[in-house]
Structure 1
């Protein structure tokens, strides 16, 4: 039904918000989440609180003409070294979807990285753990970050934070062995494109194929949920969430 992770030219994407939204509509999505980067990632023109507030106004204006499709407000929020999130809590409260990702010190000691990620996914604002290993498998490849995947996935299952199945061809993160362990841990999943251009929004099929291959139950994929259920889940730290057994 939708995509929880895409970028615009407000940060490091290549196209305006409106073009990304219209492409999602053309693909048949019912909703999509705009998740530009947070301030610390300066190389990606991360959004300061002031710029993010302006972006919220832009999204609100676009949604006035796009019904029934809805562009959700969101952010890809850096996980700081101690596991705290790189944005004002008041602003995170206002957003529909918060993806939390590690973008710095990817070679951190495994125990420290585990603590960092566990702290982040337990934050009540965190909805989705983005590209959890940080690996790159093509071009200038990058190895996986080292952490206790079972501990991180257990924290995700306990807190209701979804594990992203990142569909970018150079990421395909998490790798299959970890994806299967995440299934065993009972976590929720979000199959996302991490698109930085309109033509990348159809990469979602790559993540869907990996989900099917690794036995991800469709009812645990948040992209399959109707919008009211999705929003109830992302706001469950602030309002009661619906019974997950009633997803349709």
Structure 2
């Protein structure tokens, strides 16, 4: 196999396993270093020692490249494929198979680790029909949120990717911060241009229940909002530590989502598992729609939808209530219905 493909596939499997970022980036970086070399030049550099002396090529990545040049599947990649052959979770398989797309993902334009094209390519590889690119909005400076000008530039990149066709659509979008006054963070004229708007709270998560409820209701009422992202903001595991769920009037918030045709996100990141099961059931009883999303920050994390599907199935969410099971035309009609 091609050495570049082997390095990138290794990175994919490591991302899926939530491996440390430095380990993933070692393979992504090595792939970038050799990407411009033809097979003959790469083989020559590997044979005479130049490649091994190249900054960014370590012992492991060099071994992978040499084994790929020899015509086989590198041993390290074969092991990862074996580990990844099984599902991530024991249940939710039927619902996972029904998912057509994903409405929450990030690229290196904000706090993701990979280019837009790499995210789109991975979504295609996983059989997605659509993926929404939802990098952060300008208020979230720590995540390199997109100004209106940068978002406009990103829309051109998305248009170029979609020009290839091929039965896949990269949707324009944003994860817009819900500001303290309940407004959605981004210029309205830019929000008008997007296919999908995920609105999420990222700051002052320990606000009192009344304040947080008022804030969330304001964003849900905004006609641009399509999805209420990771509504409790909790973290239950992972390298960032843990964080308790925000307090809000869930009955009022989910009633507003149902009334305004806003989907409640079932966030598939294993460290979030947001909302918890009791809130999924409350939203279901309130008549809400749902969106099972990966919140991927790297290509391999797009496969996290398995986690969300398992949780949705366990809590009795029917496929017809999940917008990411819908075909693209129906999804876009729903997303634009309030604008």
What residue is the counterpart of 2:65 in the other structure?
A: none
1:52-201 to structure 2, matched below 5 A, reads 52-139=151-238, 140-201=241-302
TM-aligned CA deviation for residue 67 of structure 1: 2.9
Q: Distance in 2 between matches of 1:85 and 1:97?
A: 13
**1:2 aligns to 2:94 (yes or no):** no
When Rg is computed on C-alpha atoms for both structures, the one with the higher figure is 2
Q: Distance in 1 between matches of 2:277 and 2:220?
A: 21
TM-score (norm 1): 0.95
Question: What are structure 2's unaligned runs of at least 5 residues?
Answer: 1-99
Question: Aligned residue pairs: how many?
Answer: 238
**1:235 aligns to 2:336 (yes or no):** yes
Higher strand share: 1
Q: Distance in 2 between matches of 1:66 and 1:211?
A: 31
Higher helix share: 2
TM-aligned CA deviation for residue 66 of structure 1: 3.5
TM-aligned CA deviation for residue 237 of structure 1: 1.3
Instruction: Spell out, residue by residue over 1:117-167, the C-alpha distance to the aligned partner (whole angstroms, 9 max, x if none).
Output: 011111100000000000000031000000000100000000000000000
1:197-212 to structure 2, matched below 5 A, reads 197-212=298-313
Instruction: Spell out, residue by residue over 1:51-104, the C-alpha distance to the aligned partner (whole angstroms, 9 max, x if none).
Output: 000000010011101332000000000000011011000100100000000000
Q: Distance in 2 between matches of 1:60 and 1:168?
A: 28
RMSD (CA atoms): 0.6
Partner-residue secondary structure (3-state), 2:163:
helix
Q: Distance in 2 between matches of 1:228 and 1:41?
A: 31
